[in-house]
Amino acid sequence: TAASPPGHVVLLASPGAGHLIPLAELARRLVEHQGFAATLVTFADFATPDARSAVLFSLPASVATATLPAVSLDDLPADVCLEKVLFELVQRSLPHLRVLMQSIGSTAGPLVALVPDFFCPSALSVAAEIGVPGYIFFPTNLATLSVTSRAVQLNDGAAAGERRALSDPLEIPGGVSLRSAELPEGFRDSTAPSYGQLVETGRLYRRAAGFLVNTFYELEPAAAEESKIAAENGTFPPAYPVGPFVRSSSDEAGESACLEWLDLQPAGSVVFISFGSAGMLSVEQTRELAAGLEMSGHRFLWVVRTPSLNGESFAFGNGADRRSNDDDPLAWLPDGFLERTSGRGLAIAAWAPQVRVLSHPATAAFVSHCGWNSTLESVSAGVPMIAWPLHAEQKMNAIVLEESVGVALRPRAREEDVGGGAVVRQQEVAAAVKELMEGEKGRAVRRRVRDMEQAAARVWSPEGSSRRAMEEVAVKWKAALASAAKPPK
């Protein structure tokens, strides 16, 4: 008899390159390691069309792609929260998704699973109609999933319109205690619309058969164990740590002035500074960071952005899209800074091939906003971090990375500045850089990140933790397909 068909997995990515990149990597592994067919579906995207086409272009031919037709969101009020915009986008696109899945099922099927990312759980209803399991792809960490699951459980049985706030402080797995202001944004204030939206989204997660999480067991063992217990008790679906999904450095082919510069630097000497695709510092903070780098005496490679003038710490969209229309960010650096640091420091505008920079032998440390992709890239390259969180769940990530994982140091913003916008002063920047590069605490962090690098390198080997977790899920998908394929008696 012919081999039974491998089955087709449909993956659905919400807008934003930060979600699409790891989901694309998951799709590739499902095809290459598990033998499934896969289609990666995106929305006719309003934010990052360039980044999206770059990611889709770099997929192997074995992963099919499809784009859902645009839907109108014009009727939404102008001040609506981003969570709500995404929710509506997905909701209104469900009829298109249904048609697409039916067509894949009849031409390239049989379908075995739908994997929407964490902003698209309403798509689980389409999976249920079609009769395949739905698994939520979680592009960030188990810590965020843990906070989400607590908020959902806490609000079980709440009256309509009632929102129960998470405790302050909140203990999360790994011995970490978070104040409200350190929680992922959206979970900080139970009276804000985004809190309600996150609780609603979290409730929809309960329809999922599980979560595929872009992390690995060794990085968040306590959170992984907590999630096992929640799954056994039936309070929340099981989470499978199947990452890290990190872009390969070959995605960043081509010449780059900063890589040529790195080639000229001694091994393990350079501090790399970058705040993700959207992060921005204030004018004052940019100056303090510059002065601190200068004061540290260490070599550095700094991806400089035009500072934020409105107090926002990020611009939604994609840094790559801004490369051409940024004005000159270097003009905001202190007078004479570039001259005084020339030879040991390089400041570049807007964007660097980060994965290649982090894996370059000259790179010793990473001043990072702790975006989850950056974090995984840093850990996978064995580069210790100075945690400089800006938005989203980054404050929590910074604390987890310092206190629980031990791969980062956190500079402290001066107390008296808190409230008027916390500023990390130059002395603190210099002290953190020197500690990480030369100090005792720094040595422990450097050692720990090398352990994590080795762990990360093993997780997708045949007996690795992520590979086994993925296999556990794949076996379920294949079994469901086999039983469905049995001819009726």
Where does this chain bind ligand UDP (CB under 6 A)? 18, 247, 274, 276-279, 303, 319, 351-352, 354-355, 371-374, 377
19 carries an active-site annotation: yes
CB of 46 to ligand UDP, least distance (A): 17
DSSP string, 264-325: TSPTT-EEEEE-TTTB--BHHHHHHHHHHHHHH--EEEEEE-PPBSSS-SB-SS-HHHHTTT
79 carries an active-site annotation: no
Looking at residue 400, the DSSP 8-state letter turns out to be I
Cβ 5 vs Cβ 110: under 8 Å:
yes
CA angle (155, 160, 161) in 5-degree steps: 85
CB of 276 to ligand UDP, least distance (A): 3
End-to-end CA separation in angstroms for the chain? 19
CA angle (370, 446, 413) in 5-degree steps: 45
If the CB atoms of residues 320 and 480 are measured against ligand UDP, the closer one turns out to be: 320
Dihedral, 452, 458, 460, 466 alpha carbons, nearest 10: -50
Calpha distance 148→178 (Å, rounded): 14
Residue closest to ligand UDP (Cβ): 371
CB of 107 to ligand UDP, least distance (A): 34
Cβ 34 vs Cβ 474: under 8 Å:
yes
If the CB atoms of residues 7 and 18 are measured against ligand UDP, the closer one turns out to be: 18
CB of 50 to ligand UDP, least distance (A): 13
Residue with tokens 């939604």: 316
Q: Which of 8, 19, 360, 369 is catalytic?
A: 19
If the CB atoms of residues 197 and 274 are measured against ligand UDP, the closer one turns out to be: 274
If the CB atoms of residues 279 and 382 are measured against ligand UDP, the closer one turns out to be: 279
CB of 350 to ligand UDP, least distance (A): 7
Q: Which of 45, 117, 298, 391 is catalytic?
A: 117
Give the DSSP H or E segment for 239: strand 239-241
If the CB atoms of residues 36 and 137 are measured against ligand UDP, the closer one turns out to be: 137
Residues with catalytic roles: 19, 117
